[in-house]
Amino acid sequence: MTATTDTTSHDAVLVGTHGVSERDVISVARENARVVLTNEALTAIARTRVVIDGLALADRPVYGVSTGFGALATKHIPQHLRGQLQRSLIRSHAAGTGAEVEREVVRAMMLLRLATLASGRTGVRPVVAETYAALLNAGLTPVVHEFGSLGCSGDLSPLAHVAIVLTGEGNVRDADGVLLDAATALERHGITPLELVEKEGLALINGTDGMLGQLVLALNDLDHLVKAADVAAAMSVEGLLGTDRVFAADLQALRPQIGQALSAANISRLLRGSAIVASHAGPEDKRVQDAYSLRCAPQVAGAVRDTIVHARTVASRELQSTIDNPVVTIDDRVESNGNFHGAPIGYVLDFLAIAVADLASISERRTDRFLDVARSHGLPPFLADNPGVDSGHMIAQYTQASIVSELKRLAVPASVDSIPSSAMQEDHVSMGWNAARKLRRSLDGLSRVLAVEILTAARGIDLRAPLAPSPATGRVIDALRAEVAGPGTDRFLSPEIEASVALLQQRVFVESAEQETGPLV
């Protein structure tokens, strides 16, 4: 088993009694950082275990210690069957089905459950938390399935698929992605399977860790995607001969929305020094104002930013929370509670999906303007080399439209639904896990829509030669041209779209622009 003292390398994540940070989640989930339980956490865990051991010997029924679960909470369990009670709980609740959940999601979920164990409020033994940490540090990822959580009583099924691995059952993937049975994997890494005792099975599964982990990952992705949206918008303004005057700080200050001001400032910096913009900035330009999809880009991308801020506020509170039922309180009471209900997380996951759909929608509208000869201000139809013989980017917009339509469907809230379970004991649930799963699909769709806009805008800007783009957008086009050729006759378009998607998702476009602008916000 791995060491759990405080003497570790600087890149390890310390898990103590007061939760973890958003940065900690990203480090463990995406960067494979090691986790270390602090001595403070191990002491707190041991202390509250004494409380549970005392209740296990008492006559009065205690949920999770000497009773059944859910609608079976009135069933008293004799002492000699309580170990079996915990094993049976994990086996029966590991009931997921469908595709495997992504490794980063499972690792985020595991860190968050470990953080709750480390709070000292769950009543498990220290060895449970130590074994959980060892599993993460070994790079072993339990196989968790897409379907199974209602987001109330926590993410029961996904967490049970992790917990069953701790007992030597179930399946894992190792650090190389190889599928192994849990018993073999634990043995190879010197991890002793757990024999669960009173309260421990329940403590391993009664949390909102799956939906919260996915929220944190989504926020990290969105921090980048809103910047990428500003890059795409700036390129479209430039390529469509739009004006940068509407992004002026004094105009934005007339409506003091914080996100809007940040987005407008980004676009202004991205367009600074553009010969294309300067070419039509004088009184000879007879157009009074640009279309909404250009002029209102900061209002939409800014509202997305403000939504992110709200979601991050909810996430930051959850990251400092202890979610279990029952919990051991500071004064050693063992109390049932409803903190496992995923409503706070589910709501903001759904809110973000709405914002994502709208950000993609305005991006698609800008792309479409490039392709319509009546609205593109002198560009060839569909940006084609020989219109009629060539179709240019005509069908790239179809691809965007298909994705945007799907994003609108995914924007329908999951959290307004509830299906009662457990013989009506659990009669209102959050569906927060479902909200998280659809948001992940939404984020992938948004990145593809923005990548197509950048691909199309770059072609439009190239067709404005000899006028030069701004230094920042020029850097973006250079990064794209390293992978995708410039305007010409029709080529196999799908690989070019995928190359643009990869560059966007790998954050190359934003980083290229920032070489000229400095950090975007």
Alpha helices in 32-167 (DSSP H): 39-57, 82-93, 103-118, 126-137, 156-166
Contact 201, 423 (CB under 8 A): no
Query: What does the DSSP 8-state code read for residue 379?
Result: P
Task: Round to whole Å and give the CA distance between 349 and 372.
Answer: 36
Q: Which two tokens stand for residue 259?
A: 């996100």
Q: For residue 334, what are the β-bridge partners?
A: 328
CA angle 421, 424, 426 (to 5 degrees): 60
| Ramachandran quadrant class, 388 (left: phi over 0; alpha: psi -120 to 50; beta: rest) | left
Q: Are strands 13-15 and 35-37 parallel, antiparallel or unpaired?
A: parallel
Locate all alpha helices (DSSP H) within 14-75, ordered by sequence. Answer: 22-31, 39-57
Q: Which residues are catalytic?
A: 63
Closest by alpha carbon to 410, among 364, 359, 454?
A: 359
Rounded to an integer, what is the distance from CA 139 to the centroid of its chain? Answer: 20
Residues ≥6 apart with Cβ < 8 Å to 300: 358, 359, 362
Token code pair at residue 424: 């009506």
For residues 250 and 407, give the distance between their C-alpha atoms in angstroms, rounded to a whole number.
34
Q: With contact defined as beta carbons under 8 Å apart, do 240 and 201 qualify? A: no
Both tokens of 417, joined, read 């639904």
